[in-house]
Structure 1
Amino acid sequence: MGAESGALLVLQPVMQVVQLAPYLSVLEDPGRALTVDEVRSDSLRQQFVPLPTGRTAFGVSSSAWWVRLKAQNPGREAVAWVLNVPHNTTDYVDSYEVRPEGTVVTQLAGDHRPFEAQRPASETFSFSYLTAPGASSEIYIRFAYDSAGIINVYQEASTAVAFAQQQHTKALWLGVFLGATLLVILYNLFLILSVREAPFFWYLLYASAATLTYLSLSGLGYRYLWHFSPQLSDTIPNMAVILFYMLAVQFSRSFLETRVRAPRFDRILLGLIALTAVSALLLFTGYRGVSVKLTLLIGLLLGLFPVLGAWLWYQGHQIARGYTLAWTIWSLTVIGAILRFTGIMPSDPFSIGATRFGMISQTVLLAFALADRINILRNEKLSAEKRELSASLKSRNELESKVLERTRELEASRHQAEILAREDSLTGLLNRRAFFERGNEEVGRALRHRHPLSVIMLDIDSFKTVNDGFGHGVGDKVIREVALTLTRVLRDSDIKARMGGEEFAVILVQTPQESALLMAERLRVAVQACQVAVEGRAAGRAGGAAVTVTSSFGVSQLTDGVDTLEAVLARADAALYQAKNRGRNRVCAANMAEPAVPHFEQLQNG
């Protein structure tokens, strides 16, 4: 039956671990003044509500909480069974069993009460019951603190024999945990004596605080160490967690060297240490509820430590890799416990066991991280020694390197000088010498592969008139503008050069003469469209703000009879002077009786 229907726990002769959450209903007592007789009254009995699904924790509360359980033994034999409360830092946990005849049997527990020898041997709070055949009973469990604390009403039921077996198994695991923790602490104590580094010292303190925290939260400390003092039972669990957090932060600062590697993060970590100190101050000044809430918040913030480790690891600090792995488990463990305490995550044997397993795993992994840190630092030292040796060798060869560098500089200067020697300083085109060097290469290539090759010679018309009328400055501008026109119109593969004065030459690779004539005509039109800006008196003489010029062109082609660059240029030059004689601003081809322009018009018009 579900809790919504008033669930009844049916007792069995053998019960291992029965989670009682589905059978429980709960009542909050804000004033902590109700008695068992009052909560059994008709008016208050109706106010008990079933537990929310999977939720047994109610966070930090100053109220008393009553939990009701109905149990029945339908069998023919009496059932001796145990109700176990694993959350064992509550000040008062009291059991009231209402038997069929109306009598109330009271059992008192809680860490503000002396450990009772007659209770089942356990570090948790547990209560024994004997239910007769066919009988039923109603059990009320009251949870309360003197001021405030975490309320978790999670409970389990087992038969007495099964409970004893569980305690035996648990004791073995606890022995393994404490033994492993002791070995880790001793191991790091020896490391401190040998390496004398701060991270090992802080880890030793941190591991000791983690052990104290485990003893507190597991109930072992209350059972064996401080059960005689309610004040210690009240203070040590909270202070253990605060020290655990504080030393975790300080160990992280020392291990990751955040003061040097991440100064901004280091200031945040110092702030967290101060915040844990504030939590301790609140605890001792009577604000226990606020202190516990602040401690839970700090635990969630510390859960972000793997992000810091991963970031430093990403930045190249290899010492952070082991820390990141260990602290990821730490974060999952602590955040899981906090979510359990606040009721966000359900309490069950798995989540409780995961917290304990996470603590021992993280402690051991941190010890491995420290060992890994030693290896990394040793390797870094070896690398530093290698770098020092390399620096010594580099110093010995420094003079040779400088000589080599100077040689490269001289070579680069020579190369630049060669470029300047091949380039026309006014236009940036090739000069006459470079034109013949590259031109002869292209002529040889065209002859070998039997590719067509044409040459265009062009000369600016009446250029002396421009120089005399507007000055050499305007004349230079005209020459540069014509050179820019050649660069814009022609292909990158074509060879363009200023041969001297106002005369230019172009080699068109893989181009027959007919196509070269068309290209020359395009150039003629483009040059005629150019306008060169003039200023001052020259503008008045130009009749405006710009000067326009024309050019004459001669075109020749590489043939079987004309198979050298000089010969092709001579024929193109002759055609150029033919264009000059026929009135300028036109294109003529070698050995053509008429200007080429009408021929172009025929070609273009079909």
Structure 2
Amino acid sequence: MNLIHKKRFLFVLVLFLATSQIDAEDSVIDIKDCDFSPLYLTNSILVLEDKTNQLNFEDIVSPKYESQFLKVKSSKEAFNFSYSNSTYWLRVSLENQSFSSKEVTFVVSYPRLKTLDFYFRNPKKIKKISSGYSVPMLNRPYQSRFFVFPISFPENSNAIVYFKVKSPNSINLPIQLWNKDLYDRHEINDHVIQAIYFGIAFAMALFNLFLFFILKDKNYFLYVLVVTSTAFTIASHNGIASEYLWKFSPWMDQYSVNLFISVVLILFLIFMRSLLNTKQIIPKLDRLSIILILIQIGLPILYIYSFEFWIKTLVFSHTITSLWILIIGIVCSFQRQRIAYFFLLAFAFLFFALILSTLRALGYLPTNSFTIDGPQYGSAAEMMLLAFALADRYHTIIREKETAEEQVKLSLEKSNFDLEEKVKERTFTLNRTLNAMKRDLFVAKKIQENSLAIDSNLIKKLNLVYRYLPVSEVGGDFFDLSLLKDSKYRILISDATGHGVHAAMITMAIKGLYDPIKNFELPPAKVLEIFNEEFMDNFVSLNSLLTAMILDIDLIEKKIQYASAGHPAAVLVQKEKIQLLSKTGRMIGLKKQIHYEQSEINFEKGDRLFVFTDGVFEAFNSKDEEFGEESLYHLFQSTRALSLDGVVDHLLKTLQNFLNGQDRQDDLTILGLDL
């Protein structure tokens, strides 16, 4: 046994000395620097290129190879090794000088890496995490469109992190170090931004598809195909498709981006020929456009057959084809085609973004947030400008129609009387339908008011005051108060996106899901997790999100346990200060298996609690000024001497004065409790 202990001691000693030796040579990063903002690590990373692809981790940490790690030229944000057959090993040294462990996250924000292995080495252990698109999404340590490696960094210790990278795609490595909580919040914001982009694409496609069915003009349908294929290309490029569409397909991750780019260019060439009428205006140049369409059909087939041989040729053909489309737009603009001006400006944005992306993939430009996300910005601008082009085309059609109508005006005057009669008849029908809708809305309002009714005994025991003011007859806010057991009460408040009938229907769904689980003797965080799973299973097709907050109030122990799914912070007003009950997790409906943190706060007799939806402070006046959270908190503090009813009435009057006749933009709900 003594011999075994000695061997273990020597092994730990050797590992510690090796780590110390490397730290002496490397620039060491203190992880506390990422507490408030992410750190780019490229300037502190050393690189070893393994052209044989034979080295393993034990090899590269041996003295023979440790000294072969070199400083490699890179941008501040990332390394760019372009298309390479080598395996790259990266090394960076870190330290945690604090007396507590820290939760940090390493992020490689480029989703098209096939193999990306992560090694965390300190004197006590070596931890390996395998990732890259060859690893299914559900098997990764953190499900994200990027490659994310969460690590608990021990207190007062040093460590070395290694990355092993191998990929047939271009190898770009934007490596960042985040505080884990900071990155979790960033992930939520990132999903919102992505949702905005794809929401715009979906709206554009749907609207122009509607116009196609009305006008029977194929250009609108071609535009829908261009927008849809562009959205799929962007989703493949930025990893959204890997996260949500093909979680188990490394083949799609490897091939999809360039295949979709070819599809976009083919559709763009067809759209261009139709919109600009190049067959009649510039027939000789139009033939070359047809040849490029055939090339973009043939090259992807060869690319699938032999990826490594044809990849650079395909990427180069994308650039040439994009340049050709730009040239055709310029030529047609010189032909004084009004619609060509819009087309040229629109494609110029996409062309510039595509050129940046191609040059970055080939290694001629550095990899950073601008060159990575450039295609997304370019496609958004191109989408909007092409929509303007089609709108201008629509107005041209309208003007031509009006001219034709003017020519047959005399014949139409004869039928004016019949037309007026039909208008009267339709107006009568519409008014009847409108009255029926008003009656239905009145019934819906009563149903919703009944669903929000609270037992008067509970109101009295909790000294509760509440106001519910929807923007229209019905709204998207919902709240509930229930007694868990003696002296312990549970409050739910939620806010569905939007307002009106759609949001009101979501509140009915909330009630239907919450009622069966609200009396479970489970902590609020666990109830929120169950609620999110049920919502995703039953109502994900509604494409709606909602914020929610559950608070358990124990009047005997004088404490509040709570969990918040992206909901505005509740306010606990005490004698000399206020405390905010902040968010502890993501919004309901974003994705399944969301974990919610739970917090606890104590209160004293005489404290007040206010729980509300964002309609209380997200009110804008005619000058586009927001009432804001700070104004709301100040009002709660300054009205401490008033009764609860007085505080709430004063708040509503203050909001009314602030809006100065402007209508509220969102539903408003507030609950106040004297504890």
TM-score normalised to the size of structure 1?
0.59
CA shift, 1:66, in A, is 1.7
Counterpart amino acid of residue 63 in structure 1: S
Counterpart amino acid of residue 128 in structure 1: P
Quote the Cα distance in structure 2 between the aligned partners of 1:242 and 1:333: 15
Counterpart amino acid of residue 112 in structure 2: T
SS in 1 for 2:142: coil
User: Per-residue CA shift, 1:534-562, capped at 9, x if unaligned?
Assistant: xxxxxxxxxxxxxxxxxxxxxxxxxxxxx
Counterpart amino acid of residue 50 in structure 2: D
Kindly tell me: are residues 385 and 63 of structure 1, through their superposed partners in 2, closer, same or farther at Cα, counting changes over 3 Å?
A: farther
CA shift, 1:193, in A, is 1.0
Asked whether the 8 Å contact 1:9–1:72 carries over to 2, the reply is yes
Quote the Cα distance in structure 2 between the aligned partners of 1:71 and 1:4: 12
Pick aligned residue for 1:98 from 117, 121, 125: 121
User: Per-residue CA shift, 1:242-276, capped at 9, x if unaligned?
Assistant: 21222222222222222222223222222222222
Pick aligned residue for 2:282 from 252, 258, 262: 262
SS in 1 for 2:138: coil
Match of 2:151 in 1: 129
Match of 1:172 in 2: 192
Quote the Cα distance in structure 2 between the aligned partners of 1:4 and 1:75: 20
Kindly tell me: are residues 278 and 371 of structure 1, through their superposed partners in 2, closer, same or farther at Cα, counting changes over 3 Å?
A: same
Asked whether the 8 Å contact 1:299–1:335 carries over to 2, the reply is no
Quote the Cα distance in structure 1 between the aligned partners of 2:74 and 2:24: 10
Pick aligned residue for 1:248 from 268, 284, 288: 268
Pick aligned residue for 1:31 from 52, 73, 85: 52
Pick aligned residue for 2:88 from 61, 65, 68: 65
CA shift, 1:320, in A, is 0.3
Counterpart amino acid of residue 358 in structure 2: I
1:403-418 equivalences in 2 (<5 Å): none
Counterpart amino acid of residue 80 in structure 2: A
Pick aligned residue for 1:288 from 294, 303, 307: 307
CA shift, 1:362, in A, is 1.6
CA shift, 1:158, in A, is 0.7
1:495-510 equivalences in 2 (<5 Å): none
SS in 2 for 1:96: strand
* 1:116 and 2:116 are equivalent in the alignment: no
Asked whether the 8 Å contact 1:19–1:348 carries over to 2, the reply is no
Pick aligned residue for 1:43 from 64, 78, 81: 64
SS in 2 for 1:106: strand
Unaligned runs of 5+ in 2: 1-22, 408-675
Asked whether the 8 Å contact 2:74–2:80 carries over to 1, the reply is no
CA RMSD across the alignment? 2.7
Kindly tell me: are residues 322 and 64 of structure 1, through their superposed partners in 2, closer, same or farther at Cα, counting changes over 3 Å?
A: same
User: Per-residue CA shift, 1:40-71, capped at 9, x if unaligned?
Assistant: 22232222222213161122222222222222
SS in 2 for 1:56: strand
* 1:195 and 2:196 are equivalent in the alignment: no
Asked whether the 8 Å contact 1:56–1:343 carries over to 2, the reply is no
Match of 1:523 in 2: none
CA shift, 1:174, in A, is 1.0
1:190-229 equivalences in 2 (<5 Å): 190-229=210-249
Quote the Cα distance in structure 2 between the aligned partners of 1:383 and 1:313: 26
CA shift, 1:186, in A, is 0.4
Quote the Cα distance in structure 2 between the aligned partners of 1:63 and 1:248: 36
Quote the Cα distance in structure 2 between the aligned partners of 1:58 and 1:185: 37
Quote the Cα distance in structure 1 between the aligned partners of 2:69 and 2:386: 47
Query: Larger Rg: 1 or 2?
Result: 1
Match of 1:335 in 2: 355
1:373-522 equivalences in 2 (<5 Å): 373-376=393-396, 379=399
Kindly tell me: are residues 330 and 115 of structure 1, through their superposed partners in 2, closer, same or farther at Cα, counting changes over 3 Å?
A: same
User: Per-residue CA shift, 1:390-420, capped at 9, x if unaligned?
Assistant: xxxxxxxxxxxxxxxxxxxxxxxxxxxxxxx
Asked whether the 8 Å contact 1:318–1:376 carries over to 2, the reply is no
CA shift, 1:233, in A, is 3.4
Match of 1:183 in 2: 203
Unaligned runs of 5+ in 1: 388-606
* 1:300 and 2:319 are equivalent in the alignment: yes
Q: Percent identity?
A: 23
User: Per-residue CA shift, 1:268-324, capped at 9, x if unaligned?
Assistant: 222222222232112221x11233212321232244233321221122111101111
Counterpart amino acid of residue 138 in structure 1: I
CA shift, 1:35, in A, is 0.9
CA shift, 1:91, in A, is 1.4
Asked whether the 8 Å contact 2:89–2:165 carries over to 1, the reply is yes
Pick aligned residue for 1:88 from 111, 135, 148: 111
Quote the Cα distance in structure 2 between the aligned partners of 1:325 and 1:301: 18
CA shift, 1:169, in A, is 0.6
User: Per-residue CA shift, 1:172-207, capped at 9, x if unaligned?
Assistant: 111111111111110111121122223222221111
SS in 1 for 2:137: coil
User: Per-residue CA shift, 1:56-111, capped at 9, x if unaligned?
Assistant: 1122222222222222222232221111111102211111112223x321111111
* 1:75 and 2:95 are equivalent in the alignment: no
1:156-167 equivalences in 2 (<5 Å): 156-167=176-187
Counterpart amino acid of residue 76 in structure 1: F
TM-score normalised to the size of structure 2?
0.53
Counterpart amino acid of residue 126 in structure 1: V
Asked whether the 8 Å contact 1:72–1:136 carries over to 2, the reply is yes
Kindly tell me: are residues 303 and 237 of structure 1, through their superposed partners in 2, closer, same or farther at Cα, counting changes over 3 Å?
A: closer
Asked whether the 8 Å contact 1:93–1:110 carries over to 2, the reply is yes
Quote the Cα distance in structure 2 between the aligned partners of 1:209 and 1:156: 31
CA shift, 1:386, in A, is 10
User: Per-residue CA shift, 1:349-397, capped at 9, x if unaligned?
Assistant: 344344322222222222222222233455577789999xxxxxxxxxx
Quote the Cα distance in structure 2 between the aligned partners of 1:252 and 1:325: 13
Kindly tell me: are residues 49 and 171 of structure 1, through their superposed partners in 2, closer, same or farther at Cα, counting changes over 3 Å?
A: same
Asked whether the 8 Å contact 1:306–1:325 carries over to 2, the reply is no
CA shift, 1:128, in A, is 1.2
Quote the Cα distance in structure 2 between the aligned partners of 1:384 and 1:312: 27
Quote the Cα distance in structure 2 between the aligned partners of 1:377 and 1:363: 21
Kindly tell me: are residues 4 and 331 of structure 1, through their superposed partners in 2, closer, same or farther at Cα, counting changes over 3 Å?
A: farther
Pick aligned residue for 2:42 from 12, 17, 21: 21
Asked whether the 8 Å contact 2:226–2:268 carries over to 1, the reply is yes
